[in-house]
A and B are shown apart, each in its own frame.
Chain A
Amino acid sequence: KQEVTQIPAALSVPEGENLVLNCSFTDSAIYNLQWFRQDPGKGLTSLLLIQSSQREQTSGRLNASLDKSSGRSTLYIAASQPGDSATYLCAVWGGNQFYFGTGTSLTVIP
């Protein structure tokens, strides 16, 4: 069964820093990987979707990479802002369901 792990579980950084969130998965047979943002008590907001054939995707200050063979993905956030504070979830799509990671809780300190 696919298992998705995210490290670190929590991260606190001063405003302006660049940071990297990590996601690893055990089964490389995935269709795509998606990064989500979740604010407290809210649903999910999709940030970036990487198809299995792609290596990275970029949107504004966000860049996500995918190394399917090693079962890893990273989310890079440049010039972090207090508004980036949230929980970030990665999820892999195995063809019939999403497998979600445990999440990284990010706090950006003004």
Chain B
Amino acid sequence: GAVVSQHPSWVICKSGTSVKIECRSLDFQATTMFWYRQFPKQSLMLMATSNEGSKATYEQGVEKDKFLINHASLTLSTLTVTSAHPEDSSFYICSAWLSSGATDTQYFGPGTRLTVL
């Protein structure tokens, strides 16, 4: 089946630094990718929808200048957390949309654990 990877799987950084998380669709092209955030023992919350070659669409309450999303190719989307603070510590998950005929399916990455000290 289709595979989505994320890199890194976990990262620890100092407050004030920026962190980039990559999301790749390994064996298919994805014009649309999604970024989610998950706090401990809570469900996934959609942060933004990333479309290849255009600006991302952010959900209400998500700071687009803080969470920079770039979808420069059909297999790669990146999320950069700028000037990270401890409250940004979370589990970030991406998904990629595979459209094949009558069925559209999202495939999820394994997630990236971000800890900001």
Contacts and interface: CB of A to CB of B under 8 A. Distances in A.
Interface string B60-88: 00000000000000000000000000000
A46 B44 CA distance: 14
Given A43-B108, A49-B105, A89 B44 contact: yes
B43 A102 contact: yes
A89 to B, nearest CB: 6
Interface size class of B (residues with CB under 8 A): 10 to 19
A42 interface: yes
B43 A44 contact: no
Interface size class of A (residues with CB under 8 A): 10 to 19
Given A41-B91, A44-B93, A100 B43 contact: yes
Contact of A102 (B42, B91, B110): B42
A89 B41 CA distance: 12
A96 interface: yes
Interface string B9-48: 0000000000000000000000000100000001111100
Nearest to B42: A102
Contacts of B108: 36, 43-44, 46
Interface in A35-52: 36, 41-44, 46, 49
Interface of B: 6, 34, 42-46, 49, 91, 93, 95, 105-111, 113
